[in-house]
Amino acid sequence: MRSKQFRFHPEARQDFRDAIGWYSSRSPTAAKEFRKTVSDVIRHLVQAPWRWPKYCHGTRRFVLHRFPFSIIYLDDPDMLSIVALAHNKRKPGYWKQRL
């Protein structure tokens, strides 16, 4: 089976950059591990996006285990669209206007 292409919503890309920046200011090692974790998860998502549970507003969600973030995405027929890299304890649903 072929993996889908993926894209970040521009604000989701900024979520990712902001989180990396936050981790970098505290621990370059943690920032590197966070970046690798997100990259690894995206690799899994594009191979089988239906494996993770449906969330709200037609999205799906992958909850990171080591970091307090979730990847919120849309499983469109030809593209996996990452809507948010959302912190699990802050501003729930802030990303809804991105849909």
Percent of the chain with pLDDT over 90: 86
CATH of region 5-88: 3.30.2310.20
Q: What is the pTM of this model?
A: 0.91
Where do the domains of the chain lie?
5-88
Three-state secondary structure call for residue 75: strand
Question: pLDDT tens digits, residue range 55-67?
Answer: 999 999 999 999 9
Residue 80 and residue 74 in contact, taking contact as beta carbons nearer than 8 Å: yes
| Backbone angle region of 41, left / alpha / beta, with phi > 0 → left and psi within -120 to 50 → alpha | alpha
The mean pLDDT of the chain is 94
Question: pLDDT tens digits, residue range 81-96?
Answer: 999 999 998 888 889 9
